[in-house]
Structures are given as structure tokens and as C-alpha cells.
Structure 1
Amino acid sequence: MDTETSPYLNSLQSDGFVIVPSLLTPPEISTLREAATKATTLTRAGQWPYFRTVPKQFPPWPKDVPPASEGGIWGVQHLLHPDMPGRGDFATLYFSEKVLGIVEELLGLKSVSKEEKAEEEEPLVMELFNLLVAPEQKDFELRWHRDDIPSTVSAEEELRLLKSKSPQGRQSHAQYNLALCPDTSLIVIPGSHRRIRTETERNADPYEAYLPGQLTVKLGPGDAVFYDSNILHRGVYKPKPEGSEETRLTLHGSVGLKESSSTTDGDDKAADRAKVRATAVLQHSVGMWIDRDDADLSYISERAERMRRNLIAMGRGEDVGYSLEG
């Protein structure tokens, strides 16, 4: 694909992230913020069983919500679950043309016409749609990381993994943060998705407050950032003042590309990539409910239902393991 006609892809490949301002309209922001606030309130009260808890950074997550004095939660999982209040609003956004159009560009599908798409099998896979929120009563920070490359690997192994996870410079999924409130939580090191860590980065404290070249991603309500999961990044979350409205409501989504839609090398490499991606997605337990009868998404669109079925084909995720620990 000609990157001169694909500015989002060009920025993603060069910098490792791309900011899309005003992706949502004010009415969409209002509707989604109301749904996200309700989901967060239920979760904080122990009435939604899927969440991310302070101080853990990666799954598996505890089964009980910690008290506010210990930070409580920093995320609500599974916004597309059939039991989630507001599921329809979340699904309408996740499967919208405005989101999937950017995903298609980032995954190299922009040149495929709608007529061709209708005649072919669905190339996109429904993956994850979660919500990132402010902890309570205490700060919470994520350590520097790449999403599924352990920090303990050697420089040689790090380079091999970087290349294998982005063949021809492109990942097999697109992920994003979409803010419903002002958000400056994400910190990235531009360009780090294409290289091994420097000695300074490798030897730094996992929670180092400043590394050379780092940049804070600033999002206003309705803005989105799409980023390469291999970029070195971390999160810094300020607590929600007691009794206040929610101060952070950021939708965190990922959409995958079927391996058969992107494979250009041997079957073994394709199978390895598919296994790695299945681990990254299914470790969050989405496979445990996605095949429920009431999880059908055809009421959103035929394409949404095809994408759901592509996720079902990945499996349920028993004993799939975890990408990272901590």
C-alpha cells in the first residue's frame, strides 16, 4: 500500500503511534460517557465480575474488588459481553465504520473495495474492548513494557521477537485508546517499536519517571490514539477524588486480522503468530463467553457477527497461558 495515501499507517510505522483527533462527536461522547460511568459504578460496587485491580498490571486478575483505600480498580473488562449494561452503545462504536476504517488502513486493507469485501470471507477478528478508569485514593503506575515481549529477554531475542511480531513492518492487529475524558495517562517512546532497547532503557528502573525521548500522549474527549503494541510504553494514573465524577474513562480496544488474510511466509511462522495472538487475546477470558447464544451481534451488523465468529474460531482459551507476568 502507498503510505503517501495512508497517513495513519505512515505515522504508525514511523513513530509507533498515531493520534486521531475528534473521532467522536459530542453526542457520541455523551452517550458513551454515560454508559461507561454506569459500567464503572457497577464494577466498583462489586456488581460486575470482570475488572483490572490495583496493584496488578497483567492478568490473571483477582476475583474480588479491592477496597478504595487500596486503590480499587483501574479497568473494566468485556464491554461487549451480553450481560454488560450499555453493550449496544459500546458495540455500535467498536464495529463502526469510523473505527474499522482506520483499522483497515493500519492493517493494509484500505485498498479493498466494499464490493470485494462482501465477496470474500471477513478479514477482521473481534478481539477485546475494555475500559480504563482512575484508581481510588492512591496513584497507580504501570511499568515500562512492550505488550507481549518480556523485559527479561536478551537483545538478540528481543530483535527476533520484534521482527516476528511485525512481518514486513506490520502487525496482525490494531489497538487503540479512545478518551471520553481528558487523558494524559499514556507515555510512549516514539520509534522504539522498531528497535531493541538502549542500554539506558534496559538498565532503567521499571518505573523510571523519565527515559530519553519519552512523550506523554495528550487526548481530549473524543480523541483516539492507535499504537503499535511493541512500542515501549507505560501508564501513570492519578486517583479519582473521593465523591467526584469519574475523571478517567478511556475505551481500550483491539481488532485482529485473520492470519490467512496476511500470511506471506511459511505455514509454521503463520501458525506461531496465530498462537501468540490467541494467547494475547484469550488470556483475558473473552473465549469463555463469546460463543453464548445471546452473544450474537447480528443486531449491530452482519459484519459484527462475522467478526465475532472469527473470534470464536480462535478457541475458548483454556490453559492458553499469559503473555506477561505481574
Structure 2
Amino acid sequence: MVQKSLKARYLEDGYVIVRNLVSEQEMKDLTEACTRAEVLVREAGWPFRRSVGKQFPPYSDEPDSWGIQHVMHPALGEPAFARWYSSDAICDVAKELLGCSEEDLQMELFNILINPERHDFALRWHRDDVKEDASESEEVVALNVSQYGIQWNTALYDDDCLFVVPGSHIMPRTAAQRVQSLSLDPPKDPLAMPGAIKVALKAGETVFYNQNILHCATYSPSKKRATLHACMGNCQGGSFRARNILQHDVSWMKGEVFRATLHGRAQKMWEKLIKMESEAGGTIVYSQTN
């Protein structure tokens, strides 16, 4: 039996798990950087965070957090994150799955998903760039449009928080799936969604996935989590990805202060982001996407 290529599996299933991307030294550096960032968030010393009770921006003042935003920000002072984001390991896989060249890679978002301290929390079933109330015909159209981007989770601890429906990035929802994903409430049992599976990652493993795969996630205070959550674009899409990216306010990424923290490939990727932001008019529109 001929084994399918990484890209073939990604195109068919909408996600693919890649092992052994993170070296021993990188695991050490990234875990230590995550620990420092998490302490800062827990002590209310970092304003850019995802708060329990809110799935999408703008986030609330609830002190319990499930995510740390903008981890390449110069004020955080953790260069390990930018190094990982622009590493050969990540960028080589991104280029393969996006089907683009080195010159097309576009810098976007980099966050950390963490466990809340005091509350169980879950994200409802959703696609990142298709509204839950889209009609079947609208959904078919949206799913046939190239997304010009990819996102990934790199687990620094064993992580089984993410649930996906394989193949749903190219298929409209069934009637049963539509019922579940129309609910604005988090699912009590994610595996009740027809076709859903749990994506179980071992520490150091990375799942790359299409933003329009049906997915949700669960967060528990009882299990340590520090998962690097990022997305990267293909600049061939022009300003196509602007709405999804700019809703998170990347204004801090403009200018010399941030650019000076980047090197080589990272600076070139940053230039593509600034160009996209400029072409889109720099407008930040909060919407039901993430």
C-alpha cells in the first residue's frame, strides 16, 4: 500500500500531525518562555490574553485566562517565539501544505493556549471563516475558496483538547452536524458531533489544520496546557486574510521596534504582513472568527 504524502493527507482530512519538529533545545527554550509568559498573564501583567467565557475578540476583564496573545510582542521579551515561528521546521511544512514558495510566506498571529486556573471552559463548534448560520449553498461556495493560510498547534505538554471533523473543510455540514454547530453554547460532549475525533498530541508534536475544518476545544484547570497556536499566510492571496488577522489588532507589529527584533526570513514575512495591512486599509473589524 502506497503511503499518502503529507500534503495529500492534509488536503483530504483537513489536518495532519507532524512529529519530531521540535528539537530538545527548542523544547527547553519554548517551555521556559511559555512559563514566564504564563506567570505574567496570571499576575495581570500582560494585557493581551483570551479570557474565560469569551470565544472571540474583544475579550472581557474576567481574570481567568485560556490564551496568551501576541507572544512575539517586543514588550514580552521572549525571542524564542519568533525563532520558532520562522524556523525551518515550521516554514518547510507550511510551504509544502500551502503549495507556495519561500517568498510567499506571510507573518500573521502567534499565541499560546493555556489551561484556565479556576473554570472549565470550551469553544463551540465552528469554522474560523464561515458563519455558523451560513446556508448550505453559501457554505459550499465558502469551502471552495482557497484560504491562503494555515494554522497549527505545537504541544509543549501532552494535549488532547482539540476536536475536529476530518474532511469537513471541503464538505458542507450534514443536517445533524448543522444542528450541533448552530448552537452558540459549548458542546457537553464534543464526540457527539457526527464524524468528530479527538486530536491527541504528545509533547513536541504539531497538528497543522485548515481553518475551515469544523473544530472545537475543551479546557480544564486540572490539566497543564501550553500549546503554541499560530497561523501563517500565503501572500498570493493579497488582502484576502486581512479580516481574519486584523481583528486581533496587529498595530503593535508596525514600525521599527518590532521589525528590529526579527531576522532574515522573519523580516521578509513581516514585510508581507505590513503590505497586506496597508492594502486592506488597516481596518480592524471584530467578528465571530478567530
TM-score (normalised: structure 2): 0.91
Map 1:234-249 → 2, pairs under 5 A: 234-240=216-222, 247-249=224-226
**Residues 39, 85 of structure 1: 8 Å contact kept:** no
Partner residue in 2 for 1:253 = 230
Counterpart selection for 1:9 from 7, 21, 31: 7
TM-score (normalised: structure 1): 0.81
Compute the RMSD of aligned alpha carbons: 2.1
Identity of aligned residues (%): 40
Counterpart selection for 1:145 from 109, 126, 129: 126
Q: Does 1:77 align with 2:75?
A: no
String of CA shifts for 1:62-112, please: whole Å, max 9, x gaps.
Answer: 3x3x24xxxx000000011111131x1111111011110000001113xx5
Q: Does 1:324 align with 2:288?
A: yes
Counterpart selection for 1:296 from 250, 259, 281: 259
What displacement does 1:240 show? Answer: 4.3
Partner residue in 2 for 1:39 = 37
Amino acid at match of 1:231: I
Counterpart selection for 1:161 from 139, 142, 146: 142
Q: Which has the larger radius of gyration?
A: 1
Partner residue in 2 for 1:279 = 243
What displacement does 1:30 show? Answer: 1.6
**2: CA distance, partners of 1:181 / 1:238:** 14
Partner residue in 2 for 1:124 = 105
**2: CA distance, partners of 1:320 / 1:314:** 13
Amino acid at match of 2:161: S
String of CA shifts for 1:146-167, please: whole Å, max 9, x gaps.
Answer: 0111101111111111112x2x
Q: Does 1:305 align with 2:286?
A: no
Map 1:30-109 → 2, pairs under 5 A: 30-62=28-60, 64=61, 66-67=62-63, 72-86=64-78, 88-109=79-100
**Residues 124, 255 of structure 1: 8 Å contact kept:** yes
What displacement does 1:27 show? Answer: 2.3
Q: Secondary structure of the residue that 2:159 maps to in structure 1? A: coil
Gaps spanning 5+ residues in structure 1: where? 242-246, 260-269
Counterpart selection for 1:195 from 160, 171, 177: 171
Partner residue in 1 for 2:204 = 222
Gaps spanning 5+ residues in structure 2: where? none
Amino acid at match of 2:122: E
Q: Secondary structure of the residue that 1:52 maps to in structure 2? A: strand
**2: CA distance, partners of 1:318 / 1:96:** 27
**Residues 79, 131 of structure 1: 8 Å contact kept:** yes
**1: CA distance, partners of 2:267 / 2:4:** 28
Q: Which runs of 4+ in 1 moved over 6 A?
A: none
What displacement does 1:292 show? Answer: 2.7
What displacement does 1:323 show? Answer: 3.8
More strand by percentage? 2
Q: Between Structure 1 and Structure 2, how many residues are aligned?
A: 281
